[in-house]
């Protein structure tokens, strides 16, 4: 989980996104950070953000010319029984072929730009989903910790009352 990740579209403030870091209770802060660090769903969400960012980068590449090249080399031997097609009567010859292709598709009707904008929006949406998951994990962990502390306190009070009544 990264704060300020503009490529993923994270625009929430750090105080909102990482609210548990401002909690004075160190145990709760450590518990929430441990849950966030070890959650497989959050790791999967982070991977989804990276995939969406890569897809946006691929969509952006269609604005630029495509350049491909190749090289092929071959060597052949002509049988000595047949006459050589070469002027120097050589029986072995090499053939080297190089190719360079450049192509460009202009975005006349805006389809490429819309596809790129769509890919960027999907990357931002994945970032927001990742952040929502992190906030949900943090808040559920805090609620569970508060409920646990409340139950522990109720148990202690009940034991104290039983002890007082048994005297």
| Secondary structure E strands in the chain | 66-77, 92-103
Token reading at 30: 């450590």
- pTM for the model stands at 0.65
Q: How far is CA 160 from CA 150, 157, 164, 165, in A?
A: 15, 5, 6, 9
pLDDT, averaged across the chain: 85
Comparing 91 with 117, the larger pLDDT belongs to 117
How far apart, in whole angstroms, are the C-alpha atoms of residue 114 and residue 126? Answer: 18
What pLDDT is attached to residue 87? 59
Torsion of CA 18, 23, 29, 35, to 10 degrees: -50
Residue 4, phi-psi category: left (phi > 0), alpha (psi -120 to 50), beta (remainder): left
pLDDT tens, residue by residue, 41-98: 999 999 999 999 999 999 999 999 999 999 999 988 776 666 555 556 667 778 899 9
Q: Which residues of 45-65 are buried (b: 16+ CB within 10 A; e: fewer)?
A: bbebbeebbebbeebeeeeee
């Amino acid at each position: 989980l990264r704060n300020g990740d503009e490529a993923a579209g994270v625009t929430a403030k750090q105080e909102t996104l990482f609210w548990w870091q401002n909690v004075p209770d160190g145990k709760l802060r450590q518990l929430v950070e441990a849950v966030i660090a070890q959650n497989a769903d959050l790791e999967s969400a982070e991977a989804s953000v990276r995939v969406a960012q890569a897809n946006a980068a691929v969509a952006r590449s269609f604005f630029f010319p495509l350049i491909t090249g190749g090289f092929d080399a071959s060597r052949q031997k002509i049988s000595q029984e047949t006459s050589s097609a070469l002027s120097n009567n050589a029986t072995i010859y090499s053939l080297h072929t190089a190719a360079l292709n450049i192509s460009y598709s202009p975005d006349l009707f805006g389809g490429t730009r819309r596809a790129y904008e769509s890919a960027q929006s999907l990357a931002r949406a994945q970032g927001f989903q990742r952040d929502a998951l992190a906030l949900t994990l943090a808040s559920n962990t805090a609620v569970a910790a508060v409920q646990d502390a409340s139950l522990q306190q109720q148990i202690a009070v009940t034991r104290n009352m039983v002890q007082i009544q048994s005297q």
